[in-house]
A and B are shown apart, each in its own frame.
Chain A
Amino acid sequence: MARIIRILTRFWTASLSSEMEYRANFITSTLYALGQLAGTLFTINVLYDKGYQFAGWSLDETYIVVALFTLMDGITTSVLSPNLSRIVQHVQRGTLDFILLKPVDSQFQLSTRNLTPWGFPNIAFATVLLIYAGAHLSHPLPWHAYLMGILPVLFAVAILYALWFAVATTTIWFTKVWNATEVLRSFIEAGKFPASAFPPALSFFLTFILPVAFLTTVPAEIMRGDRGPRSVALEAAIAAVLLIASRLFWKFALRYYTSASS
């Protein structure tokens, strides 16, 4: 454990200090995050102004879903995208060899090597919105609702990571698809809205085939107090299954990796 923390500190201080060379990015990424959030809230407000409601969601409750989506988006920008979009580069240039040779687990290295601060504004805005929306509900969220939310949100992050890692792994076979993760990202955008915002067929797809609903809708429902510990257990089970599957998939894919030196 101590070793992992030491490695992570080294990885992250190195990559943060190199990203800091582009400080102006901080302004644009803050503006972008704010604009995305404002645009999404605007869209939902247009719908609600017409007297429509996503089935089972008041306006402030949808803000919790939007906040959780923004949080996931920030984590994606800061941690997932800068690492997992690079697997393609490693495969193309043969530099994956160097990673496989190091005495640290390859999946761990590939997933944690880089950290960019450009998702931090999303994470900050998500926190503010979460607290604002929680306080404005007809039954304001009590403090322990946030505590209850921590576990499902962590499981949601694990699900998100496993999906990203599995998609990124496919590049071992299809070297030239550096944008495969963009496809996943565009599907996950559906998580901005609660699952009941979609027609039944699409909602089914987003729950059972691509578990987008478990990233934002289900954690929000748990925080709201609509779902008991069984849902938390379900989230945990899905996260565990996907994590193990992505791990096995990586090990399987490595057997097909023909490196520069072999």
Chain B
Amino acid sequence: MWRKLRSLTASQHALMLAYRAEIYLWVIAHMLPFIMMGVWTRAAANPASAGRFAMSPHDYARYFFCVFVIRQFTAVWMIYEFEWHIVEGRLSYLLLRPMNPLWHYVTAHFGEQLARFPFFAVVCVIFFLIYPDARWMPSPSAVILGIVAIYAAFTLRFAMQYCITMLTFWFERASALDQLTFLPYIFLSGLAVPLDDLSPHLAALLRLTPFPYFISFPAEIMMGRLPANDPRILQGFALMTVWFVAFGLLGALLWRRGLRHYAGQGA
């Protein structure tokens, strides 16, 4: 299985390299973290309201830089490819393979992440050249836990989109439905407003939903706001597991039901 996944990822990576320019553009097509960085660093630097913000200006810069990094590795676009596969009947070919088509989509995402990595690294270097004050040295535990948290976020986001994607079997434009999940993803995950800047009640409520674990949770780990021995880290991972199991079961159920509904060529 491992070997199959590795060769699938390698072939997807090669495929993605053919569209390098497009993938590089996706890297800079998510400017929102930098826009929000501008707004929050400026706000926190204002002497009139200093002290009422959760972080210092440089910490806001680091936070939103982490958000940028996280988004690069948690972008999920399975639904668009799947929609196309359903409409054109291409899912039939994937069904012929001796493994669940799910792995095709998973490895396609890994291939794409590999393909965007070089340009992503260049953007990071440019950022720290422009904004040297934001440089910081994360502790080894922050790096390791951060990577684990990023990939946990990717997995959870993938599982969530997988459930919505399966609705494509019944409605052709499930992606329009998926677009609606973008709203909490942008405004309630820590992307537009860091969770610590919300009222504690609202933040606590949001931490029960999956959304803060896509952005805020890994970002706070990477920048060291959540140190390795903080009990909230374990709580966070536990909650992500619960959501992952829920989405996983629902997704598996929808996949089985949907496949019976599928009427593409060869089915």
Do B35 and A28 touch across chains, with their CB atoms under 8 A apart? no
Do A177 and B31 touch across chains, with their CB atoms under 8 A apart? no
Q: Which A residues contact B (CB, under 8 angstroms)?
A: 22, 24-25, 28-29, 31-32, 35-36, 38-39, 42-43, 46-47, 50-52, 174, 176-180, 182-183, 185-187, 189-190, 192-193, 197-199, 202
Q: A31-B180, A32-B180, A179-B22 are in contact. Are A42 and B187 (CB under 8 A)?
A: yes
Q: How far is the CA of A31 from the CA of B45 in the complex (A)?
A: 35
State how many angstroms separate the Cβ of B218 from the closest Cβ of chain A: 21
Q: A52-B46, A52-B48, A199-B42 are in contact. Are A177 and B21 (CB under 8 A)?
A: yes
Which residue of B31, B38, B49, B193 contacts A52 across the interface (Cβ within 8 Å)?
Answer: B49
Q: Is the interface of B mostly helix, strand, loop or mixed?
A: helix
Do B21 and A176 touch across chains, with their CB atoms under 8 A apart? yes
A-B contact pairs, 26 of them (CB 8 A): A28-B176, A28-B177, A32-B183, A35-B183, A35-B187, A36-B183, A43-B192, A50-B43, A52-B43, A52-B49, A52-B53, A176-B19, A177-B25, A178-B22, A179-B22, A182-B26, A186-B30, A189-B32, A189-B35, A190-B38, A197-B38, A197-B42, A198-B42, A199-B41, A199-B42, A202-B38
Instruction: Mark contacts of B13-40 with chain A using CB atoms, 8 A cut-off: 1 yes-contact digit, 0 otherwise.
Output: 0000001011001101111100100110
Q: How far is the CA of A36 from the CA of B183 in the complex (A)?
A: 7
CB neighbours (8 Å) of B180 from chain A are: 28, 31-32, 35
Q: Which residue of A lies closest to B186 (CB)?
A: A39
CB neighbours (8 Å) of A177 from chain B are: 21-22, 25
Q: How far is the CA of A38 from the CA of B53 in the complex (A)?
A: 22
Do A28 and B179 touch across chains, with their CB atoms under 8 A apart? yes
State how many angstroms separate the Cβ of A123 from the closest Cβ of chain B: 18
Residues 165-219 of B contacting A (Cβ, < 8 Å) = 171, 173, 176-177, 179-180, 182-183, 186-187, 192-193, 197-198
Q: How far is the CA of A15 from the CA of B29 in the complex (A)?
A: 28
State how many angstroms separate the Cβ of B10 from the closest Cβ of chain A: 21
Q: How far is the CA of A234 from the CA of B176 in the complex (A)?
A: 40
Do A183 and B183 touch across chains, with their CB atoms under 8 A apart? no
Q: Is the interface of A mostly helix, strand, loop or mixed?
A: helix
Do A47 and B43 touch across chains, with their CB atoms under 8 A apart? yes
CB neighbours (8 Å) of A198 from chain B are: 35, 38-39, 42
State how many angstroms separate the Cβ of A27 from the closest Cβ of chain B: 9
Q: A35-B183, A199-B42 are in contact. Are A46 and B35 (CB under 8 A)?
A: no
State how many angstroms separate the Cβ of B25 from the closest Cβ of chain A: 5
State how many angstroms separate the Cβ of A136 from the closest Cβ of chain B: 22
Known: A25-B176, A189-B32, A202-B38. 5 other contacts (CB 8 A): A179-B26, A180-B25, A189-B35, A193-B39, A197-B43
Do B22 and A183 touch across chains, with their CB atoms under 8 A apart? no
Q: Sort A-B residue pairs by CB-CB distance and give the 8 closest, nearest first.
A: A39-B187, A35-B183, A52-B49, A198-B38, A50-B52, A186-B31, A28-B176, A51-B49
Q: How far is the CA of A186 from the CA of B198 in the complex (A)?
A: 25
Q: How far is the CA of A256 from the CA of B139 in the complex (A)?
A: 52
CB neighbours (8 Å) of B186 from chain A are: 39
Q: A189-B31, A190-B35 are in contact. Are A46 and B193 (CB under 8 A)?
A: yes
